[in-house]
């Protein structure tokens, strides 16, 4: 099954998030596992525990493309677990994190960096945090453009990450618009959008000009598409008819074995026959 390239004429491209999929094997073996399952592209949040040369070798040996990495964040549970981009008192730390992310992106020939926004601490008004985020994204986008990298911004639902700065697609789009240019786009994670707002098809249509990357998981439970409430055949058909040409990141917790759970890729991506739905 060719999971990573356009699936059987679907016109859609899926990449495996190795931070979530193929957890049955150690990280360095997930590249071969993804390729064996048919993926040709991968993404993961944190490459920073590994030397770029090792990552490059694992990608090359498995014949994979690096599609996206995240900017570095602090330890889980720390004030910077969501990043430093909106924190006025951490501008030096933020700029160092962007430089590191871009170094890795260039080494891995990775076109996208997800710039985490961060969580404003108590006492920092959200509008001040937003203003700092816009200024930092603008600075980072200028630097990223010189490296041939595009930044993407992702809204995260407030149940999973309480207080995170970007909670709605409209907020992400507002920052992209405020920075302007082509150096920044939206990462529309359909799991977070469904958890926070719903109305997936209309938001895909509204923000399509700004969407540079999509991620998928079902709701509730963040498992494979088809395990929850989202009508994936309709959503993937909407992505196709809207002309979405980016990758779709599979960022979910497999209900069972990763490879055994990939049947949804063909089940939901065949072009729809609307003759039955006039
Ligand atoms: O949490 C998510 O949905 C993300 O995509 C973040 O980048 C963490 O992986
Ligand atoms: Mg995501």
Cis peptide before 220 (omega within 30 of 0): yes
For the chain, how many structural domains are there in total?
1
Identify whether 190 is part of a domain. yes
Instruction: State the CB neighbour count (10 A cutoff) for residue 250.
Output: 29
When pLDDT is averaged across residues 39-47 and rounded to a whole number, the result is 96
Ligand 2: centre distance to CA 90 (Å)? 24
Domain-embedded: residue 86:
yes
Residue 198 has pLDDT above 60, yes or no: yes
Candidate from 85, 249, 251 with most ligand 1 atoms within 8 A of CB, to mutate: 251
Q: What is the ipTM of this complex?
A: 0.95
Taking the CA of residue 70 as reference, the ligand 1 atom at the shortest distance is 7
- 30 CA → ligand 2 middle, Å: 19
Summarised one tens digit per residue, pLDDT across range 140-195 is 999 999 999 999 999 999 999 999 999 999 999 999 999 998 999 999 999 999 99
Mean of per-residue pLDDT scores for the chain: 94
What is the mean predicted confidence (pLDDT) over 10-22? 94
* Residues above pLDDT 70, as percent of the chain: 94
| DSSP one-letter string for 109-166 | T--EEE-----PPTTS-HHHHHHHHHHHHHHHHHHHHHTT-EEEEE---TTTSTT-S-
What residues act catalytically? 154, 251
CB 191, CB 169: distance < 8 Å? no
1 in any annotated domain: no
Q: Check which CATH number belongs to the domain holding 37 and give it.
A: 3.20.20.150
Mean pLDDT in residue range 11-26 = 96
34, part of any domain: yes
pLDDT in tens, 51-88: 999 999 999 999 999 999 999 999 998 999 999 999 99
Whether 170 maps to a domain, the answer reads yes
Long-range contacts for 127-135 (Cβ within 8 Å, ≥24 apart)?
A: 128/88, 129/86, 129/87, 129/88, 129/165, 130/86, 130/165, 130/171, 130/175, 132/85, 132/86, 132/87, 132/88, 133/85, 133/86, 133/165, 133/175, 134/175, 134/178, 134/179
At 2, the pLDDT band (50, 70, 90 cuts) reads very low
For 208-265, write each residue's pLDDT tens digit.
999 999 999 999 999 999 999 999 999 999 999 999 999 999 999 999 999 999 999 9
- Domain membership of residue 265 as a residue range: 13-272
pLDDT of residue 272: 66
Residue whose pair of structure tokens reads 């000009």 in the numeric block: 209
The two three-digit tokens of residue 37, written as one number: 């399952």
Q: Which of 42, 80, 156, 216 gets mutated to test ligand 1 (max ligand atoms within 8 A of its CB)? A: 156
Which residue's alpha carbon is nearest to atom 1 within ligand 1? 156
Q: What is the pLDDT, as a whole number, of residue 7?
A: 56
**How does residue 273 score in pLDDT terms, banded at 50, 70 and 90?**
low
Does the pLDDT of residue 1 top 50, yes or no? no
Query: Which one, of 128, 73, 67, lies nearest residue 100 by Cα?
Result: 73
What is the arithmetic mean of pLDDT over 121-135? 97
In a domain, 196, yes or no: yes
Evaluate whether residue 278 is within a structural domain. Answer: no
Q: Per-residue DSSP letters for 11-63?
A: --EEEEETTTS-TTS-HHHHHHHHHHTT--EEEES--TTS-HHHHHHHHHHHT
> Of 4 and 98, which is predicted with more confidence?
98
Q: How confident is the model at residue 278 (pLDDT cuts 50, 70, 90)?
A: very low
The answer to whether residue 6 is domain-embedded is no
Between CA 219 and CA 229, with CA 224 as vertex, the angle to 5 degrees is 30
pTM: 0.95
Q: Is the pLDDT of residue 6 over 60?
A: no
Which residues form the pocket of ligand 1, taking CB atoms under 6 Å from any ligand atom?
45, 70, 114, 154, 156, 189, 192, 215, 251
């Amino acid at each position: 099954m060719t999971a990573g390239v356009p699936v059987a004429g679907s016109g859609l491209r899926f990449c495996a998030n190795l931070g979530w999929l193929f957890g049955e094997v150690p990280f360095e073996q997930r590249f071969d596992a993804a390729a064996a399952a048919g993926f040709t592209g991968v993404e993961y949040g944190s490459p920073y525990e590994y030397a770029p040369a090792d990552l490059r070798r694992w990608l090359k040996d498995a014949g994979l493309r690096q599609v996206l990495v995240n900017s570095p964040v602090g330890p889980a549970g720390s004030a910077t677990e969501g990043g430093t981009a909106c924190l006025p008192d951490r501008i030096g730390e933020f700029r160092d994190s962007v430089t590191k992310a871009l170094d890795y992106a260039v080494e891995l020939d990775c076109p996208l960096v997800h710039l985490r926004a961060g969580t404003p601490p108590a006492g920092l008004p959200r509008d001040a945090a937003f203003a700092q985020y816009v200024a930092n994204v603008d600075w980072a986008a200028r630097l990223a453009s010189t490296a041939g990298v595009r930044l993407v911004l992702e809204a995260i639902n407030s149940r999973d990450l309480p207080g995170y700065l970007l909670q709605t697609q409209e907020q992400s789009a507002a920052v992209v618009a405020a920075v302007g240019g082509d150096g920044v786009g939206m990462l529309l994670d359909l799991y977070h959008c469904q958890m926070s707002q719903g109305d997936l098809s209309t938001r895909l249509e509204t923000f399509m000009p700004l969407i540079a990357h999509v991620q998928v998981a079902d709701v509730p439970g963040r498992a494979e598409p088809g395990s929850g409430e989202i009508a994936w055949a309709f959503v993937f058909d909407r992505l196709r008819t809207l002309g979405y040409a980016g990758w779709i990141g599979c960022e979910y917790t497999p209900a069972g074995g990763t490879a055994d759970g990939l049947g949804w890729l063909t089940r939901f991506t065949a072009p729809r026959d609307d003759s039955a739905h006039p």
